[in-house]
Amino acid sequence: MLAEPVGCSQCRRIDARIPADYAGRMRLSDRKIDSLASKIVRWMESNPDIELLGSVDAIRAGIIDEFMQEKERERQLDDEVDRILQQNESRMRLEGVDSWVMRKKIRQELARQRGIVL
């Protein structure tokens, strides 16, 4: 969200306040996961170098399951990041730490420790 110009007509300040549910809105919806799984299966069927060893429905269900597991891992990661930020909220405020920057750093570090690719 852009705010009013600050100082000059070409300069604009970006509103750095991020809604609390920002990470949740960035995740793939179940509908999008279903669509992606269908596209992946169609691509696999059309590729002559790939031999499907199971039914199309079983493969599609497996792809959806993998996406859903990753979605859940990312949700759990975000929940832990939120918990850590809440525990340190007053300290961050006292030290003038930008909560969005800290959220990003904590999230990246926890993902790295757990082997989650973001």
CA 30 – CA 9 distance, rounded (Å): 43
Residue 26: which domain range? 21-114
Position 3 in a domain: no
Domain count, the chain: 1
The Cβ of residue 80 has, within 10 Å, a number of other Cβ atoms equal to 14
How does pLDDT run across 15-61, given as a tens digit for each residue? 344 444 444 445 789 999 999 999 999 999 999 999 999 999 999 99
Distance CA 70, CA 67 (A): 5
Radius of gyration of the chain (CA): 20
Residue 9 lies in a domain: no
Is residue 105 domain-resident?
yes
Helix (H, G, I), strand (E, B) or coil at 49: coil
- Average pLDDT on 74-78 reads 93
Answer yes or no: is 13 within a domain. no
Write out the two tokens for 37.
């799984």
Structure tokens at 86: 């809440």
**pLDDT band at 97; cut points 50, 70, 90:** confident
* Residue 10 counted as domain residue: no
